[in-house]
Amino acid sequence: MTTAALAGGAGDTVDEVTASIDAGHFKQANSAIDSALAQPGLSADARQALQFQRERMRRIRLDFPITEPEAKAKLRELIPDMTDAEFAGWKASNQLEHMVIDGVPYYFSRSVSNLFRVSPEATARRATPATRNDGPMESANAYHDEALAQARATGKSSVAPRRVRVTQAIIVNADAVPAGEVVRAWIPFPRAIAGQQENIELISSAPARHVTAPESTMQRTVYMEQPAVKATPTKFSVTYELTIFGQVHQIDPAKVVTAGNSPADNSAELAPYLEERPPHIVFSDDIRAFSKKVVGDEKNPYRIAQKLYSAVDSIPWGGAREYSTITNISHYALHSDHADCGQQTLLLMTLLRLNGIPARWQSGMVYSDGKYDNLHDWGFMYLAPYGWVPMDVTTGQFKGASDPGVEWYYLGGLDAYRIAFNDDYGTDLVPRKQHFRSETVDSQRGEVEWQGGNLYFDQWDYQFEAKVMPLETAAR
């Protein structure tokens, strides 16, 4: 529910509360929420929107738990001779991400580790080298060569498939819910997408009774419920198999035309993917200025996409605060000196749409045969006459690669080491949740609630395991 959909002054009040929270005026926001909730005739939607803003403050405090003395102490463990002036400089530039809440600075839980991703100066001052747990597909490797070779030899865009068995679980903390109360859980589950992920087979679930959302659900899940047992974690799990194809679209820039100019285009179907979609896709003055600086006088849609992709790719990756705490994610990515995969994707989607290139969301999990897994977001853009082609701006360019197909692999291609759970963001689950979502944008870890309310991420954890199986499906 956007504030624009709220009647009369209720929307204005929610907007004012939201702005107060973003400015760090939590006491003022709480007072405004109390006053608004006490007003007679307040609609249910307005009441829920105000209550969520109060919940957002709680989530922000969970994301920003570190005091300034604690942040300095953590940094001095890594830079023993760090000066107060250095700290002040990193703070002023927000390379040490923090938020001033009611006059007191609090630092993001990952602010120290992120500093060494965004600041070469801090990295050079570090006493011991930083270690990174980057995924295997974040550098060019034999898989990319395999997929490109198949695409070039066959002319097909769906290539180099893998058959994968996945077990994903949610484990709710013991006594997070009173004994005997029913715990409700949604575990993400893939939908069939021709040429991308096929032959999906749900093998088992625990508990056995479950509801699988229809294929049409844009954020698909398996829903289960069971009663809580005293002093015992409540566990839900699903096991399934699917075949995933790599994607390689061999794009000739000279053949690309503006969307709507090809006879194969359906402009009515593409129109939603060219529009603003508040709160996270907004053509603000800052977005327009950034786009103009990057795009210049370029007219070819593919070349525009390349320029925007490179510009967003240049934003350093950093661990992200929870999306539900951010009012406008694309704005945040543009101004925060770092961004994670979903933030970069939403920023790129916004820029592409602004430039007349349809763009849409996809997300799920990336994996490496039991050795690595992580939440990941990417997207698709529409290039006539090629249609929808994938883009993964966070994996980005493989600069220095002698083969252009490798360098630009993820602008028009994907690997088979990812499972898509979501073909849109911010949509309802099936069955619909009764309480707030923990993740209001994406669905990768899952969701949990009981009749008393939502269970947030500090009350449960998830597990994900993927194993590559013998391949039974030939490349398309």
Continuous segment of H or E residues that includes residue 381: strand 373-383
Query: Of the candidates 234, 230, 228, which has an alpha carbon nearest to the alpha carbon of residue 452?
Result: 228
Task: For residues 204 and 169, give the distance between their C-alpha atoms in angstroms, rounded to a whole number.
Answer: 12
Confidence of residue 318 (pLDDT cuts 50, 70, 90): very high
Cβ within 8 Å of residue 151, ≥6 positions away = 157, 159, 248, 250
Neighbours of 316 (CB within 10 A): 14
- What pLDDT, in 10s, does the model give residues 228-248? 999 999 999 999 999 999 999
Beta carbons of 91 and 112 less than 8 angstroms apart: no
User: What is this structure's pTM?
Assistant: 0.95
Residue 258 predicted with pLDDT over 90? no
Task: For residues 334 and 336, give the distance between their C-alpha atoms in angstroms, rounded to a whole number.
Answer: 6
- What pLDDT, in 10s, does the model give residues 176-232? 999 999 999 999 999 999 999 999 999 999 999 999 999 999 999 999 999 999 999
Which region holds residue 21: left if phi is over 0, alpha if psi is between -120 and 50, else beta? alpha
Residue 260: its pLDDT value, please?
56
Beta carbons of 196 and 274 less than 8 angstroms apart: no
Task: For residues 135 and 442, give the distance between their C-alpha atoms in angstroms, rounded to a whole number.
Answer: 20
Domains parsed from the chain with CATH numbers: 3-63 (no CATH), 66-125 (no CATH), 157-246+423-469 (2.60.40), 250-411 (3.10.620.30)
Beta carbons of 464 and 367 less than 8 angstroms apart: yes
DSSP symbol at 156? -
Task: Report the relative pairing of strands 182-188 and 447-450 from DSSP bridges.
Answer: antiparallel
Task: For residues 159 and 162, give the distance between their C-alpha atoms in angstroms, rounded to a whole number.
Answer: 9
- The mean pLDDT value of the chain amounts to 94
